Each structure stands twice: as C-alpha cells, then as structure tokens.
Structure 1
Amino acid sequence: MTRYTTTDVLICGAGVTGLTLAIELARHGVSFRLIEKRTTPFIGSRGKGIQPRTQEIFEDLGILNKVVAAGGRALSPITNL
C-alpha cells in the first residue's frame, strides 16, 4: 500500500538555509516537509561570516543578538578578494 502526504513546500536539505526556511514557513502557517540525505551532522564550516541580508532575516526571526553573541571575531580582515 502506498501512502501519500500533501504538503505545500518540500525543503531539501536540513542545513542552515533549510532550517531557517522551515522556521519561517512554520511562523506563517505554511505546511512543509524537510528531508535530508545525511544521517549525521556536517563536521566543519561552510560559511565563515554572516552577510547583511542574513542579519536582516535573523533580526526578523528574533535571533540576531543571540547569534552575534555566540559568534567569534575574525582573526584578520579579508583583503585579497
């Protein structure tokens, strides 16, 4: 027997972006399903900083101050772009 589920949005990937989208959709009452192929968390870093638009989103979610407080400082500025 095949079981079907209806949802408004399918989110592929439970990384920072996928989880943030899930939070925002939940806040707005949009049904979603979140899938992730990995069985363990990624060890390491994929982002070394937070961009201004990301800060705006975190502020809207009410978590910007906590994120900033938990973060570290850059050891040296990036100057060779």
Structure 2
Amino acid sequence: MSRLDSNKRTEFRQSITRSGVSRVDNVNFSVSVGTAIPRSVTLHTLPPSVLSLVPAYRSYRYILVRDDIVIIDPDTYEIVDVIQG
C-alpha cells in the first residue's frame, strides 16, 4: 500500500468501507503479515474498484479487523498485507 499516494489510499479505503462488510473486533490472532488466521473466519472478495488500484491483490480476499483492512491469501489463510486504519 505504501506505493499508493494519499488520494488512491483514500479511494481504496472508501471502496472497502462502502462494501458493507462487518468489522471483526475480537480476534484471537496477531494482525500482522505472515500470520495464518483461523479458517473459520469468513473472507470477502475485494471490490473491482480496489483491484483497479492494486491489481496484485486480484487473487486475495480481505477482512476488516477494527479499523484495519487485512488482505488474506485464500489458499493458505495467511495475512499478506495490513492497511492500517
């Protein structure tokens, strides 16, 4: 995400928040890159507007943990990126 300028970062965040996905407030895993999350967590598809900003995320899914957008590899359930809120 550091590659996006502030306008694109704002657009990224707005696209996610407009998607209506529920936030998760209580998690029993570390929200950091490389952490494998429980498979019981429901992953969400990234909106097309986000994929146009960051095409590299095409094969990933996401969850919202508090104010952070957490990008997940759906094959391994490992966190690949955390966009801080």
- TM-score band, normalised by shorter chain: under 0.3
Q: Which has the higher helix share?
A: 1
Of Structure 1 and Structure 2, the greater strand share is in: 2
TM-score, normalised by the number of residues in structure 2? 0.23
Normalising by the residue count of structure 1, what TM-score does the alignment of the two structures yield? 0.24
Structure showing greater Rg: 1
Give the number of the structure with larger relative contact order, counting CA–CA contacts within 8 Å between residues 6 or more apart.
2
